[in-house]
Structure 1
Amino acid sequence: MDTSAAMVDWSLAASLGARIAGPGPTISAAEASAAVEELRAGADRSTGLVREFTGLVAADKTAPILVVDRAGWVQANAEGFATIIEPLVNKLTERKGAPSGLTRTIGSRVAGAEVGFLLGFLGSKVLGQFDPFFDPDGRLLLVAPNIVHVERELSADPADFRLWVCLHEETHRVQFTAVPWMREHLFSEVKALGDTVEPSRLTEEAITKAVEALRSGGNLAEVMATPEQREILDRVTGMMSLLEGHADVVMDGVGPSVIPSVASIRAKFNRRRKGVGTLDKILRRLLGLEAKMAQYRDGAKFVRAIVDKAGMEQFNAVWAEPANLPSKAEIADPDSWVARVLA
């Protein structure tokens, strides 16, 4: 946090993000307390349900489960962002020297405001998240105000919806704790991406081209990537599509036995994922969130195709080693993954 603070005012990012996200829906103290307790119970209950459905056995809950408000989620992700960009900041500082005086103050506050806007927008949307960057084993965050907001918006049964969300997020906790190499592998990919950044490429011409590409429907990660970065991004996209799709398959696969209204919830939730208004859709595109939605959809198709063809036990070969993770191309062509890994 100390080094990255030279580039980003994280306190400003967290405070501004919390203000932009807002407090969430109006709810009585008694209702809020009940929701928190139900989410905690749902997360605990989900552990066994995920294990029975997937065959993955997670370590004891060394990764804590936290039920947070929007400001808590924003603060946690400001801390996570600081951890992620620390190696990149160190690299830039070594090459260009650390900013000082007024330049440092103004620059860090501008960057803090930009990050704060992003966190504020996401902080009003995210239902839950496994944060793998929290030492030593990560942590599971459930954003109570957003869960309550969405269950009301969908007219969903609160108990069903809360357990459904818990199943998805607990699946992520299991993925990172039952698969011992997953966390470090993600770290290594993030580091590899940072190692490829060349400050000299961030020219005015490059940024102008990026803006033009965005107007044509691209996203920041895609349009500013070098060939080497695209290769890394393709690997990360394959990995994240697997993780998100697997969690979606689990939450729906477990669902019917314990969540009577799961089919209705899924149908309504898929419609909601497309964005609720013009501004929301524009922001989703610019921030690359449309690509994130594709990860859920395409990853779930990949997982279902292999489980239907080979069974869950065979599918679980995907967790054996990093080489067994699907590429971005294999996510779209499950048979190619089967031929490579299961043949």
Structure 2
Amino acid sequence: MPDVPFGFSSGEDPEHEKHGKKDPDSGSGASDPLGAFGLSGDFGMGDLGQIFTQLGQMFSSAGSVATGGKASGPVNYELARRVASSSIGFVAPIPASMTKAIADAVHLAETWLDGATALPAGTSKAVGWSPTDWVDNTLQTWKRLCDPMAEQIATVWASSLPDEAKSMAGPLLAMMSQMGGMAFGSQLGQALGRLSREVLTSTDIGLPLGPKGIAAILPDALESFAAGLEQPRSEILTFLAAREAAHHRLFGHVPWLSSQLLGAVEAYARGMKIDMSGIEELARDFNPASLSDPAAIESLLGQGVFEPKATPEQQQALERLETLLALIEGWVQVVVTAALGDRIPGTAALSETLRRRRASGGPAEQTFATLVGLELRPRKLREAAALWERLTEAAGVDARDAVWQHPDLLPGAEDLDEPAGFIDRIIGGDTSGIDEAIAKLEEGPGADEPGGGAGDN
């Protein structure tokens, strides 16, 4: 795995080791006492106050949880939202003129895309988002992405306790669960705060994070992206609008795509195995009285006992997710180039700038790797785009886009390396993949396992 994923701590910050001075927000749980809560050293005292306020609420509510109250869940998303908003700081309202420019750019892009793809328009509204808007509008999807792994970590603590201790540990387990939710929430909040200042659109990392049909562009990030580029701002805006609109065509008119994409992330989390030896040792030596000592709590959260172990199931989920994301990105690149290439001379240069942005592991890729444990390999992005381009030349736009009708028709990871055989199958009208899928469905429930398609062919 390229990075220690969301929710895990090794006592050191892998981003600090990996990116050095490139990531000024990185901190170390070993040298920074706030690192135990997932907070960097430049975190303000006001934000630290939020943490201790949450701690007070945690202790006061532990008793009610033990007597039938409702637990807050594996991740404290309210804390995540507050931490993200605090790190973003003041954001000026988006001017009406910019909102209109975004709407006009999306409308123009949709018109041009009509001639480049068989999929109809997928946007119902175009908006400009501030970083805070991005957090608010994507947090619901992040819950789905983060909950499976956080839930697994939350359960291993209780399962590692000796049987005789479980009967006496009701309030303690409730507090530990809330402590874990706070730690995950603060880590997620920091990551979302950083990511919200870097993403260009709602689909910038290839996932359907925002509401369906809402094309969103972040003007502040657009300005940062455009700095130093030779293309006019209007061309850059139209280029980004076309990419956003193309993503929404896929997500809006390929009904299985969003569930397959997010389901692969969930399968990755479910496939994670925890090294129980460190947890068992911690549980055996744990002294409940230490919970009254804030320093002991920080030490507890920073010991890094939750170490991930790669499993075959997880590797399959990672391959499926990586391949599917590469296919989406490659298709978008080919379609946008076909729609804008003759109209905006800088399209190829802008596409290359985005490709290099990903190849160098920009903030979006780094944050996504930290949260999910996955980095997209640029080689896969290039090969996916090359496959779609060759398929378009050989079979036409309609045949190319018909591949998205069913996940079993999509090229797999091996097809990205050897696309000729896949293209021959499409030209020859080979639909064995979807025929087999229909046959399995007719056999009855349970015959067709979810999550197939990309990477499994």
Aligned to 1:185: 260
Judge conservation of contact 2:138–2:210 (CA < 8 Å) in 1. no
- Give 1:306 shift: 1.8
Query: Unaligned stretches of 5+ in structure 2?
Result: 1-69, 160-169, 280-307, 429-457
Aligned to 1:69: 130
- TM-score of the superposed pair, with normalisation by structure 2: 0.59
Aligned to 1:313: 398
Q: Which amino acid aligns with 1:176?
A: F
Judge conservation of contact 1:22–1:70 (CA < 8 Å) in 2. no
C-alpha spacing 1:156/1:100, structure 2 compared with 1 (3 Å)? farther
Partners of 1:175 and 1:203 in 2: how far apart?
45
Superposed CA offset, 1:36-57 (max 9, x none)? 2211221222223222201112
Greater fraction helix: 1
Partners of 1:90 and 1:286 in 2: how far apart?
19
Q: Which amino acid aligns with 2:219?
A: A
Match 1:7 to one of 74, 78, 85: 74
Match 1:239 to one of 300, 324, 328: 324
Aligned to 1:102: 175
CA RMSD of superposed structures (Å)? 3.6
Q: Which amino acid aligns with 1:43?
A: V
Judge conservation of contact 2:148–2:269 (CA < 8 Å) in 1. yes
Give the match's secondary structure for 1:141. strand
Q: Which amino acid aligns with 2:96?
A: S
Match 1:125 to one of 186, 192, 198: 198
Q: Percent identity?
A: 20
Aligned to 2:315: 230
Superposed CA offset, 1:225-248 (max 9, x none)? 311221122222221111111111
Give the match's secondary structure for 2:202. strand
Larger Rg: 2
Aligned to 1:152: 227
Partners of 2:244 and 2:411 in 1: how far apart?
21
- Give 1:66 shift: 3.5
Judge conservation of contact 2:198–2:221 (CA < 8 Å) in 1. yes
Query: Unaligned stretches of 5+ in structure 1?
Result: 206-222
C-alpha spacing 1:41/1:297, structure 2 compared with 1 (3 Å)? same
Aligned to 1:176: 251
Partners of 2:237 and 2:173 in 1: how far apart?
48
Superposed CA offset, 1:171-212 (max 9, x none)? 1100011223323333443444444344x456659xxxxxxx
Partners of 2:248 and 2:419 in 1: how far apart?
24
C-alpha spacing 1:191/1:33, structure 2 compared with 1 (3 Å)? same
- Give 1:134 shift: 5.5
Q: Which amino acid aligns with 1:9?
A: N
Judge conservation of contact 1:193–1:232 (CA < 8 Å) in 2. yes
- Give 1:12 shift: 2.4
Q: Which amino acid aligns with 1:53?
A: A
C-alpha spacing 1:202/1:21, structure 2 compared with 1 (3 Å)? farther
Q: Which amino acid aligns with 1:120?
A: G
Judge conservation of contact 1:244–1:295 (CA < 8 Å) in 2. no
- Give 1:110 shift: 1.4
Aligned positions, number: 315
